[in-house]
């Protein structure tokens, strides 16, 4: 019945080749999506940590009462408010290692990171509480731990 069996073998080979190429493409796309998921998760976790500070009146007051001459102040510095450090440590997920800095609103607020991996940075601005107007920026910079 079938005289030319070589033709069917070529069709099967072509089909297998297409399946292999498709599988490789799917693996590459999945790896890129996993990286995006980590980035968006890190961003969301940073925002959660910053919102916890932003919505707490005592922590806001602590930021606003820092002397202008002491700014910018890094979380590595002994003068950095301990309550803010404690709140960040409480909210920080275990997969992130974070540093913070408080600056005047008009200052550039850089955090040096020597990390070889991706760095995730976010900030909030604290302008005032009920008694005091004294704008400040709180910048957080995290790397994967």
The backbone torsions φ and ψ at residue 35, rounded to the nearest 5 degrees and listed phi first, read -65, -40
pLDDT score recorded for residue 4: 66
Residues 29-50, mean pLDDT to the nearest whole number: 81
Domain spans of the chain, in order of start: 5-144
| Selection from 125, 75, 78 nearest residue 100 by Cα | 75
pLDDT score recorded for residue 36: 64
72, 44 Cβ separation under 8 angstroms = no
The secondary element (H helix, E strand) that includes residue 113 is none
113, 100 Cβ separation under 8 angstroms = no
pLDDT band at 2 (very low <50, low <70, confident <90, very high): low
| pTM score over 0.85 | no
Residues 6+ apart with CB under 8 A from 108: none
**pLDDT of 3 higher than 80:** no
| Selection from 108, 116, 96 nearest residue 137 by Cα | 108
Tell me the per-residue pLDDT of 89-115, one tens digit each, with 9 for 90 and over.
Answer: 999 999 999 999 999 999 888 888 776
Least confident residue range of 4-8, 50-54, 102-106: 4-8
pLDDT score recorded for residue 113: 77
């Amino acid at each position: 019945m079938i005289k030319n069996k070589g033709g069917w073998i070529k069709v099967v080979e072509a089909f297998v080749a297409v399946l292999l190429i498709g599988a490789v493409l799917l693996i590459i796309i999945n790896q890129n999506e996993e990286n995006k998921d980590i980035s968006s998760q890190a961003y969301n976790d940073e925002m959660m940590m910053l919102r916890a500070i932003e919505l707490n009146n005592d922590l806001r007051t602590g930021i606003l009462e820092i002397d202008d001459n002491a700014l910018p102040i890094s979380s590595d510095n002994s003068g950095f408010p301990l309550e803010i450090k404690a709140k960040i440590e409480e909210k920080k997920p275990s997969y992130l290692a974070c540093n913070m800095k408080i600056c005047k609103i008009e200052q550039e607020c850089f955090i040096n990171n020597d990390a070889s991996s991706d760095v995730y940075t976010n900030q909030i601005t604290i302008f005032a509480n009920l008694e005091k107007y004294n704008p400040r920026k709180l910048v957080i910079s995290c790397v994967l731990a």
